[in-house]
Amino acid sequence: MENRIEELNKIFSEVFGDKNLELNRETSASDIDKWDSLTNMHLIVAIEDFYKIRFELQEIQSLQNVGELCDYVDRYLAD
């Protein structure tokens, strides 16, 4: 799980252009100023490209925080 957050941290850092970004399982959009709906779509695309998967858009949009995102990616990769 630590690895998944570290991987996502790298992706987020790149999308937000912030090398000092530090995610934890409780991080949500309200914690990151630049995290708006447009950046969010860039994030989804970047995560999909990194793991070579395609999400269900409606499902991923209902997630509450980075922890849920980690779990969601884990489930997707397990399938």
Partner 1 sequence: MTVISEIKVPKEDADEEVYVNTLHYNNKDKIKKSAGVLDIETSKAVLELEASLEGFIEYLVEVGEVVEIGQTVALIHDSLDSFEGNKDQVVQERIKREDFNEEIKITKGAQELIDKHKLDTSSFKNSFIKKEDVERFLKESKSIAKEDGVKVAYVSKALSRSKVFEIEALSHVQSTGLVSTIFMNFKNKVIDNEDNLLAKSASASLPLLTLHTSQLLKEFPLFNSYFFENEIREYSSINIGIAFDIDDGLKVFSIPNTDQLPLEEINNLLSEGVYKYIRKELSPKDISNSTFTITDLSQYKVESFVPLINKNQSAILGVSSLDTELNRFNVSLSFDHRVTEGKQASIFLGKLRKLFEED
Contact region with partner 1 (CB under 8 A), list: 2-10, 14-22, 27-35? 27-35
Cα–Cα dist 19/10, whole Å: 8
The yes or no reply on residue 17 touching partner 1 (CB under 8 A) is no
Q: CA 18, CA 51: separation in Å to the nearest integer? A: 21
Size of the site for partner 1 (CB under 8 A): 23
Among 23, 66, 70, 73, binds partner 1 (CB under 8 A): 66
Q: 25 and 13 in contact (C-beta within 8 Å)?
A: no
Tokens of 34: 């630049």
Footprint on this chain of partner 1 (rule: CB under 8 A): 28-30, 35-38, 40-42, 44-45, 57-58, 60-66, 68-69
